[in-house]
Amino acid sequence: MKVNIGISNRHVHLTLEHANTLFGKELTKLRDLVQKGQYACNEVVTIKTAKGEIPNVRVLGPTRNYSQVEISKTDAYKLGLNPPVRTSGDLEDSEAITIVGPNGEVQLKEGCIIANRHIHMNPETAHELGFCNDQRVCVKIDTIKGGIMENVHIKVTDDGVLEMHIDTDDANAFLVEKGMMGEIIDGD
């Protein structure tokens, strides 16, 4: 079965407190994302370490009960980091990173991860398709640099909209572009 692929560039989620520190005001919506209630903000930050920095990193809203920086392995080399591959919110022993906004900065002792490949869906879709939350599946990508992405995490949430999320390294390695689909094959 086919699934739409969304490509996640590096981005930041913030607590309300950290958003206030960085911007001195509430986050403002630039555009809605596919996942219900999620949006790209007008606000951007610089993420930095002792070894490097990356400017213009988009903040995604709404605020959460944790702050988190999601980067690719390519970004990680620039920043001199070795972030674990994790699902959102699973931040224990993840990498330290500093977030700089126009109004202030926030030093996260942990919070920087490489997001795992995952597929969002709601419980009805999961039931129909025969998947369960936290299951791992494989997804086949049909391009000239295609192949199979393993260890793709099924994330079932009430508001989930069927969509696979991959990072820019996966997109660029497999030559996946906006609007492409993957094919969910055997679980692994």
Q: Binding residues for a second copy, per CB under 8 A?
A: 72-74, 77, 85, 114, 116-117, 138, 144-151, 167-170, 172-175
Identity of the residue, 138 or 161, whose beta carbon is nearer to a second copy in the bound complex: 138
For residue 19, the minimal CB distance to a second copy (Å) is 29
Distance CA 39, CA 33 (A): 5
Q: Which two tokens stand for residue 125?
A: 């879709």
Identity of the residue, 16 or 148, whose beta carbon is nearer to a second copy in the bound complex: 148
Distance CA 45, CA 113 (A): 17
Handedness of CA 20, 23, 24, 28 (dihedral sign): negative
Please report which residue ranges of the chain form alpha helices under DSSP H.
Answer: 16-23, 73-79, 123-129, 168-174
For residue 93, the minimal CB distance to a second copy (Å) is 15
Identity of the residue, 19 or 113, whose beta carbon is nearer to a second copy in the bound complex: 113
Distance CA 108, CA 180 (A): 35
Identity of the residue, 48 or 153, whose beta carbon is nearer to a second copy in the bound complex: 153
Distance CA 42, CA 54 (A): 17
For residue 145, the minimal CB distance to a second copy (Å) is 6
Identity of the residue, 34 or 175, whose beta carbon is nearer to a second copy in the bound complex: 175
CA angle 172, 118, 91 (to 5 degrees): 100
For residue 73, the minimal CB distance to a second copy (Å) is 4
For residue 130, the minimal CB distance to a second copy (Å) is 22
